[in-house]
Amino acid sequence: MAKDTAKEKGNGKGLNSVKTRLILVMMAVVVIPLLISIVVSYASSINKGLEDAMTINDSQAKIIEESFMASIDQQLRSLQAIADSPYTIEYIKNAQTRDDAKMIAYIAKVNENYNDGNAIVVSDVNGQQLVRDDGGKLSDIHERDYFQGAVKGQVFLSSVLISKATGSRIIIPAVPVYDYGYTSVIGIAQRSYDLSNLHTLLASNVKANQRTFITDKNGIVIARSDQEIKADDPDDNRSDRDFFKSVSAGTTSGTYVSNGDEKLIVSYRQEPNTGWIVVVSSDYNATMASAQRSAYIIVIVGVIMAVIAAVISFLMAKSFTEPLNEVNTALSHLAEGRFVNIEKFQNRKDEFGDMVNNTNSVLSVLDDIVKNIKESAVAVHKSSEDLAETADQISQTADDVSTAVQEIASGATQQADEIQSVTESVGEIDVATGNVQASTDDLSGLAGRMQSVSTDSAQSLSDLQESSQSMSEKIAQITEKIGATSKAVESINEKVEGITSIATQTNLLSLNASIEAARAGEAGKGFAVVAGEIGTLAENSRLMADEIRKEMDELLTSSQAAVEMAAEVQKGNEEQAQVLGATVDSVNAMIGDIASTVTGVKSIETDAGTCVNAKNVVADAMSSLSAISEENAASSEETGASMQELSATVTTLASSANTLKEIADKLSSDMEFFKD
């Protein structure tokens, strides 16, 4: 038992410990939601930082796009003003009246606001330059892309060119010059735009950790914020980049994270007029540093909270498990047979304090109970010894009495059996006498009923004989009536034949009348109608007479059949009367025999009653004697059985006393487990 207790104590270590499990559960309840919150917050911070960075990047690209397009638009507006000027239109159209000095002064006045060394040039519809504000050499430009685009009536920006005058990379915006009424293009106005201006623009609109550049519609970089592109620098083709592929697919703007050699946040926007693409890229790590710092702070705070939760969980688990350990120690002592009260935690006001106090109360009560059981076990042991001795003495006495009672019961039983045999014989006589008397009574009743029934039968046969005679008379009368009916039917048939003859004659007369009416013409039409109606009535009368004759024939046939059947019935009735006469004679003779039988049966009934009375006297005497013998035998058997039961009970009592003694010994031995 001590080994089992030690084993049970060993099971409370490690993960099997309530304290460890409680700490783990409390940590899980706190840390798991905390970890989820940290992960969600970290992801939200990173995603929000990335979203903000991408929004800023896109806004930066939009600002740059608007800035460089403002510069281009300003130049295009200046060129458009020159193209729309009537003086320019007249200058191009009328070669004979051209005033070059005045035209140069005009376009120089417009160009002086830029002061960047680039000239404004006006050309005719054939591509021949007509005038330059710087007085430079005039050229044929009909093969240039900007001329070909503008002469078609479109505002056009050329691809990147190298200026022969300055050696710089330039583009040439060109606008068409329309004739009056905008009916046709008569020339173009152009001005070079130095792309170094774009470098300055881009450099002034970027932040730290940002780079920006602009590509033309073919993906060639035309300006960069981090360096100025020289005329002899090779083309930087970026048509293989994701932004250019997206623009080529129809997406004019967007922002994405590039995971190349350097992780970047890239925003791009395509300018709709020029097709140029403004790209702003920011260093991902530098841009997201602030968001990552915020996320790291959240993680650190979460870790600190987890540590605090762990400390609180440990303290709470300790406060829970220490009272449990004390209770477990007390129960361990109890398992070893010692009652040791718990001294700690008795003043706690929570459930654990109640548990400690209740455990002490249970231990005190158990201690008292064990002491009482020990004392009771000693008393039971002594009493069981005395009871066993007394039971042995009673058992011996009961056995002697039981033997004597059994001998008395055996004699009484034999006497009762003999009396019972005599009683059964008297009973058989009683049954036989009863059967004879019952049979005699039945026979007497049967003879009386037979005499009464025979008398009634004789009277019924007499009545039947008279009824048969009356029936014969009635059948004769019916036969006479049916014969009279047949004669009447024959008379009706004769009269029907007369009606049929009259109807036939009437029909012939009607036919003759119709013929005469037809001969009379118009005057006989009314008579013809009447004759037709008479003919119709005659025909109907003939048909009805035929039907009556058929019915009368059937009635006559039925009457003749009825006469024949009545004759047969009368013959059968006469034969029945003869049989009834013979039957009446036989019944009268039987009535006399039945009267003699009734007299004999009454004599037998009287003698049977005398036998029954004598049998009843003998049966009553034997029944009384049998009952007395049976009661004596039963009393003896009951007394013997009671003595046997008493002997068995005393034997059981002695056995129980011995068992009780053994139990008391075992209880005393078990109580030795508990120490004082």
pLDDT in tens, 46-93: 787 778 878 888 888 888 888 878 888 888 999 999 999 999 999 999
Q: Identify which of 215, 209, 127 has the alpha carbon closest to the alpha carbon of residue 174.
A: 127
Closest CA to 141 of 194, 192, 90: 192
Closest CA to 171 of 185, 153, 156: 156
Q: Is residue 217 part of a domain?
A: yes
For residue 538, give every residue at least 6 positions away whose Cβ sits within 8 Å of its Cβ, in sequence order, or none: 503, 504, 506, 507, 510
Place of tokens 């099997």: 16
pLDDT at position 130 is 93
> Which comes out higher in pLDDT, residue 141 or 299?
141
Residues 506 and 398 placed together within one structural domain of the fold = yes
- DSSP-assigned beta bridge partners for residue 123: 129, 188
Task: Provide the β-strand partners of residue 440.
Answer: none
Mean pLDDT of 184-204: 87
**Residue 8: what pLDDT?**
47
Measured between alpha carbons, how far is 555 from 498 in angstroms, rounded to an integer? 19
Average pLDDT over residues 316-338: 75
**Strands annotated E in 527-573:** none
Mean pLDDT computed over 17-31:
75
Euclidean distance between CA atoms 92 and 103, whole angstroms: 10
Residue keyed to tokens 């022969």: 164
**Structural contact between residues 235 and 195, judged by C-beta atoms closer than 8 angstroms:** no
Q: What DSSP character marks residue 165? A: T
pLDDT at 447 over 70: no
DSSP letters for 302-360: HHHHHHHHHHHHHHHHHHHHHHHHHHHHHHHHHHTT------SSTT--SHHHHHHHHHH
Domain edge (last residue) among 273, 294, 315: 294
Per-residue pLDDT, averaged over 596-613, amounts to 68
Query: Is residue 332 in a domain?
Result: no
Q: What's the total number of domains in the chain?
A: 2
Among 294, 311, 330, residue at a domain's last position: 294
pLDDT of 3 > 50? The answer is no
pLDDT band at 300 (very low <50, low <70, confident <90, very high): confident
One domain, residues 368 and 480: yes
Residue 347 counted as domain residue: no
**Residues 278 and 370 occupy one common structural domain:** no
Alpha carbon separation from 539 to 6, 493, 499, 548 (Å, rounded): 137, 18, 11, 14
Mean pLDDT across the stretch 87-115?
90
Any domain includes 443: yes
Residues 205 and 290 in one domain: yes
Does the pLDDT value for residue 1 go beyond 60? no
Residue 114 lies in a domain: yes
Residue scoring higher pLDDT (102 or 547): 102
pLDDT at 594: 66
* Rounded Cα gap, residues 598 and 120, in angstroms: 173
What single letter denotes the amino acid at residue 367?
D
Confirm whether 138 is domain-assigned. yes
Residue 243 has pLDDT above 80, yes or no: yes
24 or 105: whose pLDDT is higher?
Answer: 105
Question: Among all chains, which residue has been given the structure tokens 């011996």?
Answer: 396
> Is 365's pLDDT higher than 50?
yes
Residue 386 domain-assigned?
yes
Environment class of residue 433 by beta-carbon count within 10 Å: exposed (0-12), middle (13-18) or buried (19+)?
A: buried
pTM for the structure as a whole? 0.42
Task: Tell me, yes or no, whether 591 and 462 share the same domain.
Answer: yes
Query: Residue 91's domain spans which residues?
Result: 48-294
Whether residues 524 and 609 share a domain: the answer is: yes
Q: How far apart are CA 529 and CA 532, in angstroms?
A: 5
> In the chain, what percentage of residues exceed pLDDT 90?
12
Going by C-alpha positions, the residue among 169, 186, 165 that lies closest to residue 177 is 186
Q: What DSSP string describes 625-647?
A: HHHHHHHHHHHHHHHHHHHHHHH
Q: Is 272 exposed, middle or buried (0-12, 13-18, 19+ CB in 10 A)?
A: exposed
DSSP letter string, 121-132: EEEETTSBEEEE
Q: State the Cα–Cα distance between residues 606 and 437, nearest whole angstrom.
A: 9
**What does the alpha-carbon distance between residue 173 and residue 73 come to, in Å, rounded to a whole number?**
10
What pLDDT, on a 0 to 100 scale, did the predictor assign at position 26?
Answer: 76
Domain membership flag for residue 11? no
Q: What was the pLDDT predicted at 45?
A: 74
Which one of 253, 276, 294 terminates a domain?
294
Q: What is the mean pLDDT of residues 404-418?
A: 65
Residue 578's CATH number? 1.10.287.950
Cβ-proximal residues to 76 (8 Å cutoff; 6+ apart), any chain: 155, 173, 175
**Residue 69: which CATH number?**
3.30.450.20
What is the pLDDT at residue 539? 79
Containing 260, the helix (H) or strand (E) segment is: none
**Does the pLDDT of residue 159 top 90, yes or no?**
no
The answer to whether the beta carbons of residues 54 and 254 sit under 8 Å apart is no
Is the same domain home to 276 and 368?
no
**DSSP secondary-structure letter at 137?**
-
Residue at token pair 């009843």:
616
